[in-house]
Chains A and B, each alone.
Chain A
Amino acid sequence: MDQKLYIEIINNSLPTDLNEIPILKYDIFFDQIMAFLKDEVKHCVAYYGVESAGKLKLYCCIADDNNNSIKVFAHVINKDKPVLKSLTPVCSQLHIFEREIHENFGVKFEGHPWLKPVRYSHERSDKSQIMDNYPFYEIESEELHEVGVGPIHAGIIEPGHFRFICNGEKVLHLEIQLGYQHRGIEKLFIEKNDALQRCVLSESIAGDTSVGHALAHSQLIESLAGIQVSEALQIERCIALEMERLANHIGDTAALCGDVAYQLGQVVCEALRTTIINTTQFWCGNRFGKGLVRPGGSNYPMSNNIMDEMLRVLDDTDRRYSEVTDLIYSLPSVLGRFDDIGILTRQQALSLGAVGMAARTCGILRDIRKTHPFQYYKNYPVRPVILETGDVLARGMERNLEARESVKIIHELIEIWRQKIKDIKKPVYEYKLKPNSFAISMVEGWRGEICHIAITDNNGNIAHYKVKDPSMHNWLALALAVRNQEISDFPVCNKSFNLSYCGNDL
């Protein structure tokens, strides 16, 4: 009888029995990943290790955008002699996942070109690896010089170290060292038995994506606990997610203008972002939507009053944002700074497995709302914005167009919401998770795809929790995009990606 090579899971669906996930021999595992990832509609969502009883089980989840499924399969190795042939030389998008497995469990991936620490996890296998002895790439040359920036930066941003190798003003190589924000989020999810604490924890994974991560967590819990939520609540969650997207896109537009010293664009967009996040505050009492998304229900059900206020603010903000972005993206001095800077090619984006805006600006349709729909997006077709050029201007325009699109989506969702029965329950904190199960939940946050995966033990407790922020895929995209650019353009390139440090560091 043929052994099943993988199982297919639909995003945000019922959990799968752990025993159903096929465990493959490494050569089959290897070949299967290689075969899948040759196809550009598939990309690796997560590839990670779970340790149990002296064995290390590697799970690989590959999203197939064609039939909305996630293919999951596994491989088991002994903990004592962990040597595997690296997949990175053939599928470079796995580089970061292999680095992570290497760091956490000491698995040696033969042939991996860049087995460096990812985030200095508290439970890493080799404790001798510390921040101070990070093996930076070096070039010996009289002409070249190194510039190190961070981890403490001049602005109010998160810590991360950037090491440039420059030839004069030109960047030849950039290496990004992260891990300063590591808090042990994944472990805390297992330790915290209180459901509310876990919700709060999920909101704190990346402060600018509170709604996105909270939604991913809530979906996962609902899936494992078998809770169904009403359509009205699903719509409200989608609205919350779009509000977050809108606020961040407008805020990023402001920051992009600030980096090129265009004061007018900066101050106007900053003011507009405030109106959006204040509306979120009007709704749930927190500007970043903390406390809004909870499993099973909501403490802040939408009311007609909130809805009217939201529509009023959105219309006003939309009009003013259109005006200012028309101005920004037609001003020669701004275009001169954005155009043709920090190009990420389509080929690079594909081989890195880039997600979110970074992928969509390279002409790749990667939008979880469309390809693996969740919540009310299942019934509501989203129109993803796809641009081709992959430069800073494209990423700026992407934000502009997506923000306008979000306004439309919220408008249309509100119209649908008005016709639904408002049977929104209170959040559920007392639930029983299905034992021995594997569940996966993906959400398109404003930055890109967020993925939470949980595995439960025999008693229905969470045995392993995996979080993947879109930044994990995209940090290397930034490093590639600034190659051969001027070092003075790095800040604006960095801002155009606006990746999360804490989302990567967990």
Chain B
Amino acid sequence: MIGFVLILIAAFFFPGIILRTKSITSGRKGPGILQPIKDIGVLVRKGSVFSKTSGIIFQIAPVVALSGTLCASLVIPFANQRALISFEGDFIFFSYLLAFGKFFTILAALDTGSSFGGMGANREAFFSMLVEPAFFILLATFAMFTGFTSFSDIFSHFFLTGDHYVLIYSIIGFYLFVQIAMIENSRLPVDDPKTHLELTMIHEVMILDNSGFDKAIIHLGSYLKFAIYGSLMYNVIVPAGWNIFLQTGLFLAVQVVFAIIIGLIESFRARNKMNLNPKFILTISAIAWIAFVVILILTNKLI
């Protein structure tokens, strides 16, 4: 339960920290840390506008996506507490809850019938498909390493195996989760959330037709996803057995560091050319593969 609450708190401040980082690195005064949440407040008070060509799918998609993301956050454990939902193989459940939300967003984009929506949906589906192996291979590596298949068990036993190589897995896990989170949340270098250019957008162009309350929900879902990935990162680098207060502090610190990393990446590089994105994403999968092969060798399963 503490984990769930902490994720919500982290999600609350996450976008603001990214914004602050970007403002500071660009030498601007910039908006306050709570500005994104204030914007959500403004959006919530507005009504939604629906195109005449769109149907029920378009109207329910944002809620479906947010509920999928919320459910997914219940699977993540915190410290030595088990997650609210925990069963064998729950990381597949987790991944497909997120994919479920994405699937509905894609359907909604197609539902609007705009050529932009279709273009963005096409790109989003393609890149999500490519990033899925990276996530599963990474989790499979962890499962092999610890011998468990649920998030709660994997992370509570992660540092108990007594294996010296755990540090390598921590680092690889952290790195890959950062990259996967960037792709899943449509940030640089794969997508540019700030752009006004419809033709270069991926995620933003899918939600062009959403307005008011629906848009607020979509944004909230995106912030929540950040915090979820942030807590996965936290779980692979902090041993579960430590003191709970220390853990809470570290949890928030990891989230802040993650947000700052995103802010820094977005300040000092340009985004990829669209046709380089698949290569970029496959490289991440390749790193996961390497980790997987190494674990196979270590556990003597590769003859």
Contact = CB atoms under 8 A, between A and B. Distances in A.
B270 A331 contact: yes
A148 B270 contact: no
A332 to B, nearest CB: 9
B276 A169 contact: no
Contacts of A491: 197, 199-200
Nearest to B274: A488
A418 interface: no
Q: How large is the interface on B (under 10, 10 to 19, 20 to 34, 35 or more residues)?
A: 20 to 34
A466 interface: no
Contact of B275 (A145, A146, A169, A257): A169
Contacts of A271: 27
B283 interface: no
A241 to B, nearest CB: 31
Nearest to B22: A263
B274 A489 contact: yes
A474 to B, nearest CB: 20
Given A263-B22, A263-B266, A331-B269, A149 B198 contact: yes
Contacts of A149: 198-199
Interface stretch (A303-311, A333-341, A455-463): A333-341
Interface in B99-137: 115-116, 118-119
A386 interface: no
Contact of A333 (B26, B118, B272): B272
B274 A169 contact: yes
Contacts of A145: 115, 118
A466 B131 CA distance: 57
B271 interface: yes
Given A267-B26, A488-B274, A490-B199, A261 B266 contact: yes
A487 B199 contact: yes
A486 B196 contact: no
Contacts of B188: 261
A260 B189 CA distance: 10
A336 B273 contact: yes
Interface in A239-270: 257, 259-264, 267
A154 B198 contact: yes
Given A333-B189, A336-B276, A260 B115 contact: no
Contacts of A263: 22, 25-26, 266-268
B197 A147 contact: no
Contact of B270 (A146, A169, A337, A341): A337
B195 interface: yes
Nearest to B187: A261
Which of A154, A261, A262 gathers most chain B CB within 10 Å?
A261
A334 B266 CA distance: 13
* Residue picked from A148, A257, A260, most chain B C-beta under 10 Å: A260
Contacts of A336: 270, 272-273, 276
A333 B269 contact: yes
A334 B268 CA distance: 10
Most buried by A among B116, B273, B274: B273
Contacts of B271: 260-261, 333, 337
Interface of B: 22, 25-28, 115-116, 118-119, 188-189, 192, 194-200, 266-276
Interface of A: 145-149, 153-155, 169, 257, 259-264, 267, 271, 331, 333-334, 336-337, 341, 486-491
29 contacts: A145-B118, A147-B115, A147-B119, A148-B115, A149-B198, A154-B196, A154-B197, A154-B198, A259-B195, A259-B197, A259-B200, A261-B194, A261-B270, A262-B270, A263-B25, A263-B26, A263-B266, A264-B25, A264-B26, A267-B27, A271-B27, A333-B270, A337-B273, A341-B273, A486-B275, A488-B200, A488-B274, A490-B199, A491-B200
Given A259-B197, A263-B266, A336-B272, 17 more contacts: A145-B118, A147-B119, A149-B199, A260-B270, A261-B188, A261-B192, A261-B195, A261-B266, A263-B25, A263-B268, A264-B26, A264-B268, A334-B270, A337-B270, A337-B273, A488-B274, A491-B197
